[in-house]
Amino acid sequence: MTETITRLKNELRKAVVGQERMIEGLLIGLLCEGHILIEGVPGLAKTTTVNALSRALGLDFKRIQFTPDLLPSDIIGAQIYNPQDHSFSIKKGPLFTNLLLADEINRAPAKVQSALLEVMQERQVTIADETFALKKPFLVMATQNPIEQEGVYALPEAQLDRFMMKLVVTHNSEEEELEIIRKGARKAFGNVDQVVDKEEIFALQEVLERLHIDPEVEHYIVTLVTATRDPARFGLEALTKELRYGVSPRASIDLYKAAKAKAFLRGNDHVTPADIGMVIHDVFRHRIVLSYEARAKGITSDEVITRIVETVPIP
Amino acid sequence: MKLSLGSLLLLLLLPWQLYAEDFVFRVTVNTTHPYLKAPVHLAIDLNQTNHDIVLFYKFALKPSDMYRIEQIDGKHDDTLYRAHHHYDYILYPLKEGKINIAFTMIKRITDEQKLAYSASGDRDDFKKLQTKDMPVALPPVILDVKPLPQGTKLIGDFTLSVEIPQRSVKAYEPIPLNMTIEGEGYPPLLDPLIPKIEGVTRFFQKPQVEKYPTKAGIGYRVHYTLALSAEHTFTLPEVTIPAFDPDKNRRYALTIPSAAFTVTKEDVNTLVDTIDTPPPYRISWEWLYILGEWLMIFGAGFVSGRLWRWQRIYTPRSIHPLVAKIDAARDKKTLLRVLMAHDAHRFAPLIEKIDKDLYDTRQQTLKSLKQEAKELLK
């Protein structure tokens, strides 16, 4: 099974240089059927990577550029009146796809973001009085730009919680940057071909479900989650003032699934604390709500997670 | 006294009157041969003779530096067709010899109708009385002014009173003197009233002049307030003021009596103002302190700059906090926690190695794992 993953990664490398963390995060999302929020400055191949993934998987791919004047009907679809036979027909929106790239999601107003809530959680769309189930797999990969603050709408906590992971994309290393400019100048980025089909993905998901996880490791996950809610219990009294809300139960589930996927991607048949440690930042960082004091001090949720991981003993 | 022809003529004209058109002008003087600065009573009457017109007068004595005038009375009777004005003046001749006392006179003719019209106005609709104004040339009154006796300082009938409330004082303490000259005649203003005295300082105040009416004209009461100050005992000499009474044609003198003043010496030290007196002069070395302060500030700045440079050169680089944490890890699990917490992606190969070592092979030593972690940090 790891051979399928290797093949997929190699195909993606034709279009994307570096960005291993993002690719691995997307694969975890794919294997766990979890939505991914990607944050990074412009030009870090966020859209390219998602595009390449959809091609390599041979999945249906749609992209929505979120803008302030976007309406819910623009993404979910609408009923259209047919004057010839005086009937209404359903025009499905771009949500009816396997991979949905919601580009610059924080530029859309709250009502459009809310329209995504049902889709992301229930994987179904309601237009007028009809509800349509979306085809499997269905993944939302949203991007947002952290630099611009003008004319953006912060995503509500409820919606952020529906994203399995938030990946923070950073700039490439110098070697990778050199390769990018060489390939870019020669137009040497290869075409991405389909190397994996849907059935193989479903098979991988089934394998993932069977992956063993020790009760002690499960308990470790619960302890980490509890530490975000009640840090004083773990000798982290200083965090009490900095944390307003800990992570939700959905975070526990996502961390559990993400750790399994990470173990699978590493080629293991069981989950170890290291798997959890490798994904915990991505799973927790958008779910922890910091207090005003913490934000005033410039403390980030990543720093809080770091202190929790450092403190909570591993089994 | 010999009378000249002119003087004789003037005597014949006293009182004299001028029959002008529409009115008669009558002047009465008590004397045409006054002494210099001696008061002359001058009475003027204006009587309407033409009773068919409404007549008003505008009369005044022309001011001159040859005499000084004080009006002491006046009666204006503007009865229609019978206007009568009477003026009383006291005149003081200021020049010897013949002087002319000139007048200005305007005759104002109107009628009842115009008068009624002007009276019909009010504050907001003032109606000026329409008159026909005609200047009338009145002949001057000529006075032959006689000189005063030699040395005369006061002209008139005056008395002097002197008040010296204190005759024994301390050195430089002021000795007040109050003197009053009172009577009828030319205003008794003398300057200085007291002559210079050796070793005595005189302080004068502007004399306070009071004027009061008398049967003959005007009386004057002049208060002199002055002070003397001296270091030693002294005597104010007797001061004689020669005066002349022109009415009685007699000379007399007013005398400020001699007065002795006892001045006792005051201890000079008690006179020194110990509160407001500036401190005695001494050389100020304040500039040296200021210079020293500035040099110290400069030196401190210079040394601080040097210290910062030395510190930058000699201070060892601080240890990376993660290295400290790696060093502090007592077991592999702790090391794994530290690496997972800080940068799982960066340390991914080492994390996998520790993970494998912890739960499988157990071949690596903690020291070697720490060393590997530090190398990954470089």
Give 10-residue mean pLDDT values along chain A (315 residues). Answer: 80 83 89 88 81 86 88 86 84 87 85 82 83 85 74 79 89 83 74 84 87 91 92 87 89 93 88 91 91 88 91 88
Phi, psi of B12 (to 5 degrees): -65, -30
H or E element in which residue B106 lies: strand B103-110
With CB atoms and an 8 Å threshold, state whether A310 touches B338: yes
CB of B74 closer than 8 Å to CB of B23 = no
- Of the candidates B345, B355, B358, the beta carbon closest to that of A21 is on B345
Q: A20 in contact with B at a CB cutoff of 8 Å?
A: yes
Give CA separation, B226 vs A210, B164, B205, B208, in Å.
129, 10, 6, 12
Contact B355 A272 (CB under 8 A): yes
Q: Which of A274, A280, A309 sits opposite B352 (nearest CB)?
A: A274
Collapsing DSSP to helix, strand or coil, A3 comes out as helix
pLDDT of residue B378: 73
The residue of chain A nearest to residue B341, with distances taken between CA atoms, is A306
> Looking at per-residue confidence, does B359 or A167 come out higher?
A167
Is B351 near chain A, with CB under 8 Å? Answer: yes
Q: Is-contact B236 B197, C-beta < 8 A?
A: yes
Q: How far is A274 from chain B (nearest CA, A)?
A: 6
A309 contact B CB<8A: yes
Judged by CB atoms closer than 8 Å, whether chains meet at B336 and A309 is answered as no
Considering the four listed CATH numbers 1.10.3470, 2.60.120, 2.60.40, 1.10.1740, the one that applies to the domain covering B154-271 is 2.60.40
β-pair partners for B102: none
- The Cβ of residue B104 has, within 10 Å, a number of other Cβ atoms equal to 14
ipTM of the complex: 0.81
* Stretch(es) of chain A classified as CATH 3.40.50.300: 2-184
Q: Which of residues 304-343 of B touch A (CB under 8 A)?
A: 325, 333, 336-342
Task: Determine whether the interchain pair B333/A314 forms a contact, defined as Cβ–Cβ distance below 8 Å.
Answer: yes
Q: Which residues in chain B have Cβ-Cβ distances shorter than 8 Å to A307? A: 341
Cβ separation A20–B355 shorter than 8 A: no
Kindly state the percentage of chain B with pLDDT values over 70: 94
A310/B337 Cβ within 8 A: yes
Tell if the CB–CB gap between A21 and B342 is shorter than 8 Å.
no
Closest by Cα among B136, B77, B148 to B103? B136
A-B Cβ pairs (cutoff 8 Å, strict): 49
Q: How far is A277 from chain B (nearest CA, A)?
A: 5
Q: What span, in angstroms and rounded, lies between the C-alpha atoms of A23 and A19?
A: 6
Q: Which CATH architecture has domain B5-145?
A: Sandwich (2.60)
User: Do the Cβ atoms of B345 and A280 come within 8 Å?
Assistant: no
H/E stretch holding B115 reads helix B112-119
Q: What does the domain layout of chain B look like in residue ranges?
A: 5-145, 154-271, 283-312, 321-377
Q: How far is A310 from chain B (nearest CA, A)?
A: 5
Mean pLDDT of the region B214-223:
90
Distance between CA B59 and CA B21 in Å, rounded?
16
Which among A266, A279, A305 is the nearest to B352, CB-wise? A266
> The domain at A2-184 falls in which architecture?
3-Layer(aba) Sandwich (3.40)
Range 47-106 of A in CB contact (< 8 A) with B: none
Q: In whole angstroms, what is the distance from residue B25 CA to residue B17 CA?
A: 5
Architecture of domain A211-311: Orthogonal Bundle (1.10)
| Residue-level pLDDT at B4 | 42
pLDDT, tens digit, for every residue of B40-85? 999 999 999 999 999 998 999 999 999 999 999 899 998 889 999 9
For chain A, where do the domains classified as CATH 1.10.8.80 start and end?
Answer: 211-311
Residues of A in contact with B337 (CB under 8 A): 277, 309-310, 312-314
Can you give the pLDDT at residue A196?
A: 86
Q: Which DSSP letter does residue B35 get?
A: B
| Same fold for the pair B5-145 and B154-271 | yes
Prediction pTM value:
0.54
Quick one: which H or E segment has residue B335?
Answer: helix B332-343
- pLDDT given for residue B9 in this prediction: 42
pLDDT bracket for residue B350 (50, 70, 90): confident
Chain A partners within 8 Å of B345 (Cβ): 20-21, 278
Which alpha helices (H) appear in B272-320, and where do they start and end?
A: 286-314
In terms of pLDDT, which residue wins out, B321 or B258? B258
B-chain residue closest to A21, CA distance: B345
- Chain B nearest-CA distance from A165, in A, is 15
Contact B345 A278 (CB under 8 A): yes
C-beta separation of A262 from A275 below 8 A: yes
